[in-house]
């Protein structure tokens, strides 16, 4: 099964702009991508990257400027629906979490992201297609069922934690010692403990 990691190479992670410059956002994106690729490689899955602009990484990269839906739906058509897609902004990913995604014996396996997104999927059904806008996890459940596919959802915090906004950064420092965590520490981010949840500060 082809395993594809889509990533924005041009102006990635715009919602991190309050804490990172454009160059830093590109570097941090490449560090998160490195973490994702390493976890996938440790499970012996050959992985391809599809990027909207060139990115530095240890996997074959295809540059494709189209939006995510067009790109992934073309790949689903090409592969007769036998495809896995894992997002590039999951630096908490581990090989065990990858195995969780591939384990269920269902036509379509969905990994929900926090906030209604779909952070990864495995499709083994010819008619599954994606629609990443809005609450995509609900749409993907509906699309899979409408196609007559059996659906499983995985319960993984590591697959659910995508890093989109400054408030997400603490999770990387709390639960990873990979390239993204190293990058953040080198850039001066550290955990700040308050009475409620943990946040980060850049020093």
Angle at 106 between CA 109 and CA 90, to 5 degrees: 20
40 or 49, CB closer to its own copies? 40
Please state the closest distance from residue 191 (CB atom) to its own copies, in A. 6
- 179's enclosing H/E stretch is helix 179-186
Which CA distances in Å does 6 have to 99, 119, 203?
19, 11, 32
Instruction: Name the residue among 152, 168, 175, 19 with its Cα closest to residue 92.
Output: 175
**What's the closest the beta carbon of residue 180 comes to its own copies, in angstroms?**
17
By C-beta, is 52 or 176 nearer to its own copies? Answer: 176
Closest approach, Cβ 62 to its own copies, in A, equals 26
* Cβ-contact 68, 132 below 8 angstroms: yes
Nearer to its own copies, 49 or 92 (CB): 92
* Comparison of 82 and 175: residue with beta carbon closer to its own copies: 175
Interface residues with its own copies (CB under 8 A)? Answer: 15, 94, 96-97, 100, 112, 114-117, 133-135, 137-138, 155-161, 164, 170-171, 174-175, 191, 193-198
């Amino acid at each position: 099964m082809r395993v594809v990691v889509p990533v924005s190479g041009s102006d990635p992670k715009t919602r991190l702009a309050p804490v990172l410059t454009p160059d830093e956002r590109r570097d941090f994106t490449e560090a998160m991508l490195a973490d994702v690729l390493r976890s996938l490689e440790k499970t012996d899955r050959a992985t391809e990257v599809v990027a909207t602009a060139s990115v530095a990484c240890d996997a074959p990269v295809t540059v494709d400027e189209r939006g995510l839906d067009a790109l992934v739906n073309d790949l689903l058509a090409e592969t007769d629906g036998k495809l896995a897609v894992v997002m590039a902004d999951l630096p908490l990913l581990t090989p065990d979490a990858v195995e969780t995604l591939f384990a269920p014996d269902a036509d379509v396996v969905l990994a929900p992201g926090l906030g209604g997104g779909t952070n990864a999927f495995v499709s083994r059904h010819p008619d599954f297609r994606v629609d990443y806008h809005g609450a995509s996890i609900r749409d993907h459940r509906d699309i899979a069922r409408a196609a007559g596919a059996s659906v499983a959802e995985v319960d993984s915090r590591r697959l659910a934690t995508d890093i989109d906004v400054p408030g997400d950064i603490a999770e990387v420092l709390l639960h990873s010692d990979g390239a993204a965590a190293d990058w953040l520490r080198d850039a001066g981010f550290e955990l700040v403990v308050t009475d409620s949840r943990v946040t980060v500060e850049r020093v």
